Amino acid sequence: MTRVSMQVDGVTYTDEVEPRTLLVHHLREALGKVGTVVGCDTSNCGACTVHLDGQAVKSCTVLAVQADGAEVTTIEGVAAPDGSLHPVQKAFHEMHGLQCGYCTPGMIMASIDLLKENPNPSDTEVREGIEGNLCRCTGYQNIVRAVQQAAGELSGSATTPETTGAQA
């Protein structure tokens, strides 16, 4: 067993872990962060995406020991302390950017990272930015619209997909 300490959603946790434990399993099983889902266990789907020291990563590709000393943000840590939704979460809800919801936590985490890097992405740039996250239900159009709406809100612009000519 190896002792690790990491800050997850603003709380510091110190635990003993098997060196081979994946971060996704540590988050879910030891810390109860079940919003980070296991989709494929092969890094193909992106459902397990979290932020590790501010960068989006697939937590099924990171060992818990590699996150020692790091700051991890999960989908549970994205909303404001008062419970109000992050603009990307809100936009996914308002623009119907989900159906079954299984991919949604990872998709939101990837979208937040995308908007941090590119605050005003084109539809093509949104699609490229989330290409590591698979959705088998939506066809992506409403996800792209949600990211565009969130981009407008985060930048303080009133621009929404409806006003920019994005097609449904």
Q: Where are the chain's structural domains?
A: 2-76, 87-163
pLDDT beyond 60 at 162:
no
Structure confidence at residue 167 (pLDDT): 41
Same fold, 2-76 and 87-163: no
Look at the block and give the residue holding tokens 């890094």. 43
What homologous superfamily is domain 2-76 in, according to CATH?
Beta-grasp domain (3.10.20.30)
Structure confidence at residue 68 (pLDDT): 98
Residue-wise pLDDT tens digits, 17-46:
999 999 999 999 999 999 999 988 788 999
The class that CATH gives domain 87-163 is mainly alpha
Please compute, for residue 87, the number of CA atoms within 13 A of its CA located in the half-sphere on the CB side.
19
Residue-wise pLDDT tens digits, 41-70:
788 999 999 999 999 999 999 999 999 999
H-run or E-run covering 153: helix 141-155
pLDDT beyond 50 at 160:
no
Q: Which of 19-33, 81-95, 153-167 has the lowest mean pLDDT?
A: 153-167
Nearest CA to 67 among 59, 78, 56? 59
